[in-house]
Each structure stands twice: as C-alpha cells, then as structure tokens.
C-alpha cells in the first residue's frame, strides 16, 4: 500500500469536517450519521486517479470528481493521498454526486491567511503572475491581488509584461472582505523611499559635485536625471561644448551618467546639472591652437543662407561667410557651394575668444585671380573684352572668366558728356580699353576708353584760334543757344546773342538740328574745355553793343556755375550746359 500524502494548505480558522470510518461501518450495515455542511472545507481521500482528474472520497455515499487542473501538484498526486476540498453542493442534481473543488479550498485558506497576517497599509512581498487590463495580478499570501498600472512605478510604465514573474514589494491599499479582492501599490513605497533619499541627499549635495544619475525623461530642451532621490534638469546647452540639435543625440532613457551639480534651489528642491562641465572648455585656449592664417580641415554641420558652420573639433565650430566662398562669383546662398556633411579645408581669418566665434575663409585656400590679373596686367595695359553688363554709371567688360573691369561714363569720351554708357557701347560688343587701376583686395578694376587716344584739348590752341572760321553741323538746340559739332569730336556753342546781328527771340528761328554752318571762333577756354562761336558779322572786339542786350534775354539764360551772361563771346560743351540748365529745347 502506497505512502499516504496529505496536501495541507496554510492553516485556516474555518471548521474542518474530517472523520474516520471503519470497514465495519461501511460494510457491516451500521448507519453512520454525518452532518455534511455545504460551502465548507472537508478533508477527503484520493479514491481514484484518472487522466482528467481524481475521485475524492469524503465519506459520502458517492465520491466527488475534481479536474486535474485544480491540483497544484497533479504529477505527484497518488491514490489514498489526503486533500482538502471545498464542498460546494452535497449532491449534483444530474448525477447525485458531491460537487467538490480543491482550488476553492486553497483560495479560502489563502484568504484566511491573508486576513490574519495583513491589514490595509501593510508592506508585503508578492510575485507577479500575469497582466490584466489596467494593471498586473500579483500573488500575495496565495491571493491574486490587483496592482494598478499607475501604481507600478513612479512614472508611466510602457512595458508591464517586463514585470511578470518578478517578486515585488508592495503596500496593501485596500482589502474587500465581501468581494474578496485586494488592491496593492508599489508606487507608494517608491515615493516613501524616494522622500527618505531626498532628505539625505539634500543635506549632502553641493555645487560642483559630480554624481551619478539615471536618465528618466527626455524633452526638446533637455533631459531629467534622477540622482537617487532628486530629479535634476540637464539642459541641452550644458550637454556638450559643441552643437546639439536634440538631447537624444547625447543621452537615452535609463542611461546611467555622471553629471556636475551646477546650481541648487533648496526651497523648491531643484537641481541644474551639466555634462560638458566634466571636461575643459575647448575655447579657453582657442587663439593659441587656431591662430590667424592657419589651414584647418572640418565637416560642414549646418548651412544657413548667410554661411556654413564647419566643425573643426568637438565643441568648436567656425563660420564660412558667403562673401568668403569665392574670389569671383557672387554667392547669394551658402547652399550653392556647400552642403551638410561636406569635408572642407579653410583658412582661419579671425578668432573671437570671448564671443566664441571663428571666421573661416574658403576662397583663401585657392589662388586669388585678381592678384594674378594685377601681376599680368599692370596699370596702362591695353585689354580687349566683351561688354557683359551696363549700369547708369558705367559698363562692365569681361577681362577673363568671372573677372570684369568697369569703364565709368566719365572715362568714355574726352569731349562729350556721356549720360549713359549705351550712348557709346552696346551689350555684347567687343571693346578695347586701358587698365587704369587694380585693387585685388576690393576686387575692382577700373578701365578707360577715352585713354586709348590723346586728349584733343591738350593741343586745342594749335587747332583753333580766335576769329578762325570753322565749319560744323548743328547737333542740339536749346533756349540759350545752339551746339555745333566740329572736327576732333569737339563741340562749340553759338550763344543766342551770337546767332545774328539782329535781336533773336528764339534759337530755332535761326538754326535747327542738322544745319551745316560756318562760324567764327570768338573764345577758347582750355580750363573749362569750352569754345565760343558766333554767326554775327561783327568781330569779337565789336561786341560792346551786345552787352546792352535786353534784360529779358539775360533772364532767359541763367547759368550761375559758368558765370556766362547773354552777350559774352563764350561757348561750351553740351554736357556742361546741360548740367547747368537742363537740356530743355525751346
């Protein structure tokens, strides 16, 4: 006969109904009167073990069946083992057998044990069994207790499955006798422990200390670090001496890192933390490590319209401004030349240690084509080029690829006042000019067109003399006189008072544009570059009568800059008079 095993749960205060029956009582015909009480715990014996369960003899006229799933150690169960069962019904109406449950007997024992050993507020240890909606089920004294998700940890728990099969210390929040359920909390214990640690830490902590901490949360502006009792903020600007776009580039959730205490607010119990302060500021000796003129290599880490930032070393960046990217091309956006990730070489142009700025030059790593032009084409050199562009003040001529020189309107003619370069040149036209000035630093080259020939006014007195008769064509008529084109591209002026021996009301009554005329030179002013002409028959010495011309004529011609008055035997360039009077035709 096999050894008798007794499966005894934790002791209970409930009344156990156990009894002994002799073979004579069973087979001798003697009647045994037993008071079987439903909803109570009895001790029975395993009468038969089947594949799906066992028959339990409780001394009733029939055995009760219990499914194998209810036995905590089914494999070890043998015939004649004693087990405690819960009597749900004395007779099942269908087969007249008692309805028994091993699981309910165990639960009833466990509940009794929990009530005896626990009360609300007690701290117990239990093992997490499985996850349910809204939290976890944890075994406390054999009773399945509910641990809400909000009570698992100090913060939100993303993966509750990670707690399954773990033993946790929890606090009993509520015991419901009627429903026989228990609610527990782990968070309250953690908060209490945290408060104790905070009180201890606040007494020990000091600015400048280096302490370990755990990254609890990450935001756009920084990370919150748990220093085992107090949370501190590690701001993004204190994570690295270099550029940090987002804190996640430096730290991750649950990382353990060492930080420096930068500031303490004892009243609010807040800490400001630093990570970069663990190492020396790389800007402290930047001027010694990167002097002006040194060539550096780096990586483009950011591109803005005005320039590109290049990381020289961790924590050190320099700016290449768009104006320092090319010697010849006009760069409007840095992205036209550089992109993030590009490896570049540059020259240190300036270092501002206090403001932590380094200016870099990209074009300085290449030869300056303006300097090359200055060496190959000194002042006075004749060049040929195509007119690429024109403005109101001059024309730009291409000397070589991407290098232009400018011909100012004042350097286009010795004799004419040029108001716009289109009066002399056209876009795309091939021209010859003389280099007058080169400034490689300012990237400017001044060209001259009139300098290709001699100044006709330099020897004007050898060409024209007073009282000389000259021929020309009327090119312009104004209310004060008429301009005559002479040889050598020189203009002369016939003042209204010199158009006729008679009084002239309007210039156009005597001459018009296009007329060929013969006039007498009355005066030559080399300083002012003016030639006065006359159509009158009187000589220059007989002009005294003209001085008494009617005052309305003098009112018609008002030229304060030249001092010329009606009746004077002086003419001038059309440009000079246009500038003084405005070229208004009568």
The pLDDT, as a whole number, for residue 551 is 35
pLDDT greater at residue 301 or residue 106: 301
Which one-letter DSSP state was computed for residue 478?
A: -
Note the CATH number of domain 118-189. Answer: 2.40.50.140
pLDDT greater at residue 235 or residue 557: 235
- Residue spans per domain, the chain: 6-108, 118-189, 205-278, 286-365, 369-452, 461-581
> Stretch 557-561: mean pLDDT, rounded?
35
Note the CATH number of domain 6-108. Answer: 2.40.50.140
* Burial of 362 from C-beta contacts in 10 A (0-12 / 13-18 / 19+): buried
The fourth-level CATH superfamily of domain 205-278 is Nucleic acid-binding proteins (2.40.50.140)
Is CATH 2.40.50.140 the classification given to domain 286-365? yes
The pLDDT, as a whole number, for residue 571 is 40
Q: How far is residue 440's CA from residue 380's CA, in Å, rounded to a whole number? A: 16
Q: How far is residue 113's CA from residue 131's CA, in Å, rounded to a whole number? A: 24
Reply yes or no on whether the pLDDT at 549 is more than 60. no
474's tokens? 């009327």
Phi-psi region of 576 (alpha: psi -120 to 50; beta: other; left: phi over 0): alpha
Any long-range contacts for 200-206 (C-beta under 8 Å, 24+ apart)? 200/229, 201/227, 201/228, 201/229, 201/230, 202/229, 202/230, 202/266, 202/269, 205/230, 205/261, 205/264, 205/271, 206/261, 206/264
Which one-letter DSSP state was computed for residue 3?
A: P
216-259 confidence digits (pLDDT tens) = 899 999 999 988 778 899 999 999 887 788 999 899 988 999 99
Fold held by 461-581: OB fold (Dihydrolipoamide Acetyltransferase, E2P) (2.40.50)
Percent residues over pLDDT 70 in the chain: 86
> Stretch 351-362: mean pLDDT, rounded?
89
Reply yes or no on whether the pLDDT at 559 is more than 80. no
pLDDT greater at residue 179 or residue 190: 190
How many other C-beta atoms are found inside a 10 Å radius of the C-beta of residue 378? 10
Are domains 118-189 and 461-581 of this chain identical in fold? yes
Strand-pairing partners, residue 548, are: none
Instruction: Give yes or no for a contact between 438 and 445, defined as CB atoms under 8 angstroms apart.
Output: yes
Reply yes or no on whether the pLDDT at 9 is more than 70. no
> Stretch 516-544: mean pLDDT, rounded?
77
Lowest mean pLDDT among 316-330, 512-526, 539-553: 539-553
How does residue 575 score in pLDDT terms, banded at 50, 70 and 90? Answer: very low
Reply yes or no on whether the pLDDT at 425 is more than 50. yes
pLDDT greater at residue 54 or residue 544: 54
85-136 confidence digits (pLDDT tens) = 888 888 888 888 899 988 888 888 878 777 777 788 888 888 999 999 989 9
> Stretch 197-209: mean pLDDT, rounded?
84
Residue 102, classed as helix, strand or coil, is helix
Reply yes or no on whether the pLDDT at 344 is more than 90. yes
pLDDT greater at residue 132 or residue 377: 132
Residue with tokens 């933390």: 273
Reply yes or no on whether the pLDDT at 18 is more than 70. no
The pLDDT, as a whole number, for residue 586 is 36
Residue 194, classed as helix, strand or coil, is helix
The fourth-level CATH superfamily of domain 369-452 is Nucleic acid-binding proteins (2.40.50.140)
Q: How far is residue 190's CA from residue 238's CA, in Å, rounded to a whole number? A: 29
Phi-psi region of 141 (alpha: psi -120 to 50; beta: other; left: phi over 0): left
The pLDDT, as a whole number, for residue 35 is 63
The pLDDT, as a whole number, for residue 248 is 92
DSSP annotation string for 428-467:
T-EEEEEEEEEETTTTEEEEESGGGS--GGGGGGGT--TT
Residue 292, classed as helix, strand or coil, is coil
The pLDDT, as a whole number, for residue 12 is 35
């Amino acid at each position: 006969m096999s050894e008798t095993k007794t499966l005894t749960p934790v002791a209970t205060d409930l009344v156990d109904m156990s009894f002994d029956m002799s073979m004579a009582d069973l087979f001798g015909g003697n009647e045994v009167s037993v008071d079987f009480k439903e909803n109570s715990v009895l001790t029975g014996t395993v009468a038969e073990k089947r594949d799906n369960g066992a028959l339990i003899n409780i001394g009733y006229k029939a055995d009760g069946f219990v499914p194998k799933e209810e036995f905590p150690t089914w494999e070890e169960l043998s015939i004649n083992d004693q087990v405690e069962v819960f009597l749900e019904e004395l007779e099942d109406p269908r087969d007249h057998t008692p309805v028994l449950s091993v699981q309910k007997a165990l639960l009833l024992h466990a509940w009794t044990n929990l009530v005896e050993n626990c009360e609300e507020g007690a701290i117990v240890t239990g093992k997490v069994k499985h996850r349910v909606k809204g939290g976890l089920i944890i075994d406390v004294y054999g009773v399945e207790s509910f641990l809400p998700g909000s009570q698992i940890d100090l913060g939100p728990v993303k993966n509750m499955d990670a707690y399954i099969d773990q033993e946790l210390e929890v606090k009993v929040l509520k015991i419901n006798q009627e429903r026989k359920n228990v609610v527990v909390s782990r968070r309250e214990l953690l908060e209490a422990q945290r408060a104790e640690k905070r009180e201890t830490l606040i007494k020990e902590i000091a600015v400048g200390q280096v302490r370990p901490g755990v990254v609890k949360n990450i935001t756009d502006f920084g990370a919150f670090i748990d220093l085992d009792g107090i949370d501190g903020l590690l701001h993004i600007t204190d994570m690295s001496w270099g550029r940090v776009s987002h804190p996640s580039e430096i730290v991750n959730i649950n990382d353990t890192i060492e930080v420096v205490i930068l500031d303490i607010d004892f009243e609010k119990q807040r800490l400001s933390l630093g990570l970069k302060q663990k190492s020396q500021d790389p800007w402290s000796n930047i001027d010694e490590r990167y002097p002006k003129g040194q060539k550096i290599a780096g990586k483009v880490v950011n591109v803005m319209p005005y320039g590109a930032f290049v990381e020289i070393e961790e924590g050190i960046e320099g700016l290449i401004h768009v104006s320092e990217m090319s010697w010849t091309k006009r760069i409007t956006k840095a992205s036209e030349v550089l992109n993030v990730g590009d490896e570049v070489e540059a020259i240190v142009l300036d270092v501002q240690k206090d403001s932590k700025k380094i200016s870099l030059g990209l074009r300085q790593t290449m030869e300056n084509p303006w300097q090359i032009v200055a060496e190959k084409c000194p002042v006075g050199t004749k060049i040929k080029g195509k007119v690429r562009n024109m403005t109101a003040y001059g024309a730009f001529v291409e000397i070589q690829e991407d290098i232009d020189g400018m011909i100012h309107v004042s350097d286009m003619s010795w004799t004419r006042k040029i108001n716009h370069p289109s009066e002399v040149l056209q876009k795309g036209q091939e021209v010859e000019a003389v280099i007058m000035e080169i400034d490689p630093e300012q990237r400017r080259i001044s060209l001259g067109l009139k300098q290709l020939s001699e100044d006709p006014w330099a020897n004007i007195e050898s060409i024209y003399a007073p009282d000389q008769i000259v021929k020309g064509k009327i090119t312009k008529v104004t209310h004060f006189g008429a301009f005559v084109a002479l040889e050598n591209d020189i203009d002369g002026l016939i003042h209204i008072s010199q158009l006729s021996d008679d009084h002239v009301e309007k210039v156009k009554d005597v001459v018009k544009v296009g007329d060929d005329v013969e006039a007498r030179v009355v005066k030559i002013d080399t300083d002012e570059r003016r030639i006065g002409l006359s159509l009158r028959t009187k000589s220059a010495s007989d002009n005294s009568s003209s001085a008494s011309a009617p005052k309305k004529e003098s009112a018609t011609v008002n030229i304060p800059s030249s001092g010329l008055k009606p009746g004077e035997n002086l003419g001038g360039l059309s440009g000079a008079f246009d500038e003084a009077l405005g070229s208004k035709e009568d």
